[in-house]
Structure 1
Amino acid sequence: MYSYGDKTRAIELYFRYDRSAAAAINELGYPNRHTLGLWHMEFAENGDLGRGRHRHCDDLQKRAAVDHFFDRGQCLARTVRQLGYPKSKELLASWVDELEPGRRRRRAKAGSFTDDQKREAVIALASRKASAQEVADAVGVTRAVLCKWKNQLLGEEAPCKTEAVPKDMADDVDALRSQAAELQEQIKRLELRKAILEGAVELLGKGQGVDPGMPTNREKALIANSLRPARKLNEMLSELGMGRSSCQYQVEAMRRPDKHAGPRRRISEIFAAGDGRYGYRRVRLDLRSEGVRVSEKVVARLMRELDLVAKRGKKRKCSSYKGEISDAPENLVKRNFHADAPNALRLTDIAEFGIPAVKVYLSPVVDCFDGMVVSWAMSTSPNAELASAMLDAAAATLSEDEHPVGHADRGCHYRWPG
């Protein structure tokens, strides 16, 4: 409770700050806006805060309070809070009994209700269209007591309101209990699935979106064993889609010694000796030379389990650009590759071909008039000798009065000095 001095100080600050309730409350730390408003109303009507004296209420104010009480669901606290008077709920109750004797609904004790009455109250709460407080007022108990009955009959997880209520729910609460049991079973299955997914992520190193149907039987057995004894084996195997006999077989198989322990160790040694450049075929040949007979599939699988991946050299593409080793010739064609007569414009370039034995380079000369290959030369190296042989063969097809324009990519083999 606030003293007369506290109230007076709050009202003085309220007027000092131009009737700003937020400024006064921020400085004092009390009261709330509603309480400060009541103090201001009392000060405005009486010119003082009364020093603890009760405000006198006439018959009209009493009648207004009683009418408000019956119009707002017969809640004493709500009427006192909204009207700001009288001082207590007990005083308001005396006014109601004085002006409307016998009309006020009195709440019964929670222990005086039978089990059938409690079930009917819970059904009304679950199938209500109004607020829970109105249902509690209609039953004659507090909202807290009504929620306690619901928790006792349906459990704390059951919702306080259902969208669709069966017709026979008014006669029996078994439908609500069945719904609560189904929800509990669904939650249990979801928790089990979550535990399986977390086990797959932790044990198998799979992604967050792993599907329990994707792991192998051995991986499923590992997940199931990791969750025991906190989870039942039958429930986990049903969720994983695995039979009990299959799980037992995988457990016994994991207990047996590894028959590929020797080849596994030797594969790691051979791979390290080859500087990580041997694939599974080369490793298998080395194993066979030592008298160890294993198939290529086994070697490949063991190398995958050991995370042994052979190095692969990068493919090097041929590039004729070696820098500006001489003065760049002028581009006479300028991307106009049309010719009106034979032997007027010729194009050339070098193409690379890969054959099992070696790489071969082809240097042809094409006439732009009809696309005819005038001459060509081949070599195992894209050098100036290849370009010179191609040009000599192309020049031999010309007469003395023919002087065609030759166009190339200005590669180093065309510009090499000499």
Structure 2
Amino acid sequence: MNEGPVMGYSKAIRRRALELFDQGCDENEVARLLGPNGPSATTVRRWRIQGVVTDQRIGDPKLIGFVVSRMVLTDATATALGRRLGINPSTIYCWVRNTRHMIENSQFDDIDEAARVIMETVVRDRKDNNERRRDAYAAQRAARTAGVRVPADVEVAAAQEIGDDIVVPEGVAPAMYGVVSQPLAVDDLPDDPEELRKLLIEERNLRATAEAMVVVLGKGEPPVKTPEKATMVNLLREAGFTAVLARRCVGIAESTYFWFNAQADNRAQRHKRRGQLVEAIRTLCTTATQEAGACGAIYGYRVVHQILRSQGLRANEKLVREIMAEENLQPVQRRKGVYSSYEGENQHCPENLILVGDDGQLPPRWGQPSTHFTTHNATYPDAPLQHDFHADHPGQRLVTDISEFKAKDGKLYLSPLVDLFDGMVISATAGCHPTTELAVVMLEEGLATLEEKSCPIVHTDRGGQYRSQAWCNAAGDKDTPRFIPSMSRKATSGDNAVAEGFFGMLKRDLFPTARACENYTIAELIRKIDQYIDWYNNRRVKAGLGYKTIKQNREEYSRQTQAA
């Protein structure tokens, strides 16, 4: 309800109309007595219903305290109070909604005391609001002096409302006032203390704005881009300015400021998540390297990505690869060695049982193809597998080979026996010479770990150790064979790719360069390789097993077998 005239008529006219009512005149007579330019009979009738007109202005703190205290602490209604005081009931409800919290939780002996508390609180709140508006105008003046554009409508509205009266914002940090664009001369200072206070306030706001510009731009010169304005607003808010005051000072719309702030928050969140991801990847790679006794990184980015997912850390695979490249955690690509155990051809020349023949089938002695081989060829008939390097059960198909390591005090030769079911190294021997005994002892130890009646296929390359008489004798006779031999084609290392791949992985993990193993003695190399094989069998995560370890895969196979 507007202050002053009611419905376009002064309070004096309305008061006169009510006096005529008290004298016994009806609505039509009152309207006629007030003249042709006076209110109509309908308006006069409404005045009579509303009641007398108070001398206080609508919105006066004393009037608000009087009305709210009666509404909250007594049984008075808004309609009754409105008729008595000439106030619209909706206005009374609005006052009660905004001020009842001031007295609702307090105890008052006198209703007039409650009215006084409300009045003082309303006066204080209005004073604070006026000061905030003056702060805005002061900041606008400081921004104009510093060269920051201020919207014209905001500037004109603030100037028309409060003129040149300036009030300093409370709690502004003095540290923000380290830059002064235009120093004040002593002769320019006014003698009036009030004028001097206003000038110092304006200078202080100017310094805060200039300091924010220097921090953002590196210099106090316009033009200022929108992202930089958002940063300036944040600096001013840290210095004690309110958000509204800082935005008006810099000249940036509210929606624009919050949009840029949201973008900054998103960048901060991404940076935080990246930091957590970097720490997790670094810890994962370092732990794996220490457990394996390796000299460098072991896992590639795909395995690291899957391990992180299993730990509940979501990250893009490309991001993992990028971080591992930045942190130098990628496995090195090692140069291949030149050792060869080939000693020529002799009468012992077993069939290559893992190789698909010209008819597209495996040799009969290989038995049934593995499930992986059959599924792949049925799914991709245009790109069938040429070798079956898989097995459906442990101890069904084995591969072996010999590799050379150059140590500080000689050479070391390693001969492992690898199970094609999951890649487990079931036995391994090492010696200073690549003898037949080295291979045969490895074979005997491996076969001892299998079931008694099992007769696995053992695939090798065409090395001399696997064509010797001792190796043939270890295979047994035709009636009671201990294993079925299989041999790669001549000069075709791909036929024994699983064994070659194990050597490549071991050397890459333990020795980043081809000559790194020369820093160790033979005894030290044996200990490192033994530690690595133990870690490989029990703790290394393999992508081919669904990102599980060999130990976990064997335990799962055992449970399934027992359940069946």
Which range, TM-score by smaller chain? Answer: under 0.3
TM-score of the two chains, using structure 2 as the length reference: 0.19
